[in-house]
Amino acid sequence: MLRIDGLSAWYGEAQALREVSMHVAEGEIVTLVGRNGAGKTTLLRCLMGLHGAHGRTAGTVSLFDDDITKLAGHARARRGLGYVPDDRGIFATLSVEENLTLPPKMGPDPWSLERVYETFPMLRERRRFPGTKLSGGEQQMLALARVLRTGARLLLCDEPTEGLSPLIVQRIGEILREVRAAGVTVLLIEQNVHFAASVADRHYLLAEGRIVESLDSAQVREREHELLEYLGI
């Protein structure tokens, strides 16, 4: 579904990504793991076509076998890419339902409000609440739901579990699996390797802008302590 070949990215003269090559198959959940500053956010932003304002890139990105390297962000969204940034991007003064009705339907499979509320019943309960009144976990669910409303087929999620309690992290995991069962593919940044192994199929370890290892979940489970130490968690 997604193929990245030799992707490099720079901020001015500083190189943040070095010849990254990886793929995500349709229906997979794949994580990007790496220390702070490894280049994970830069990689997701490059995939969404958002790096251009910061510096140059090299390499190619293909989605469904089409080369999308030169396409702008909105054109990538029309082809099914959706980005959930780490700050979640909720409009704080708008209600949950306004946040959900605002995004334009761009991608191939826009979710109806009803479908969103079936998957995220908590958002139906809170639909008149302003964004400011939501907990971190509720904001994360709203951010995911909002991207599904645009019609995304491949979600790029920047650390959806960051700062959330274990119970909410578990709920986010259930939701990601439900979303996958509904036909959506997920690439997420994740520092919680225990959670990563429980929710995802495969994992890429990124260090200093390079993919240094590709692991399945059994390998991550076996090496959990070593990875946590490496990540400094």
Binding region for ligand ATP (CB under 6 A): 11, 14, 16, 34, 36-42, 54
Nearer to ligand ATP, 36 or 93 (CB): 36
Nearer to ligand ATP, 37 or 108 (CB): 37
Nearer to ligand ATP, 58 or 182 (CB): 58
3-state secondary structure of 139: helix
Write out the E strands in 12-130.
Answer: 14-24, 29-33, 57-63, 66-67, 81-84
Nearer to ligand ATP, 6 or 183 (CB): 6
Phi/psi region, residue 27 (left: phi>0; alpha: psi -120 to 50; beta: rest), is left
Strands across the sheet containing 57-63: 14-24, 2-11, 57-63, 66-67
Nearer to ligand ATP, 41 or 69 (CB): 41
The maximal CA–CA distance of the chain, rounded, in angstroms, is 49
Nearer to ligand ATP, 12 or 218 (CB): 12
Q: How far is the CB of 209 from ligand ATP (least distance, A)?
A: 7
Strands across the sheet containing 29-33: 81-84, 154-157, 185-189, 29-33, 202-207, 210-216
Over the range 217-232, which residues count as b (16 or more CB within 10 Å of their CB) and which as e? beebeebeeebeeebe
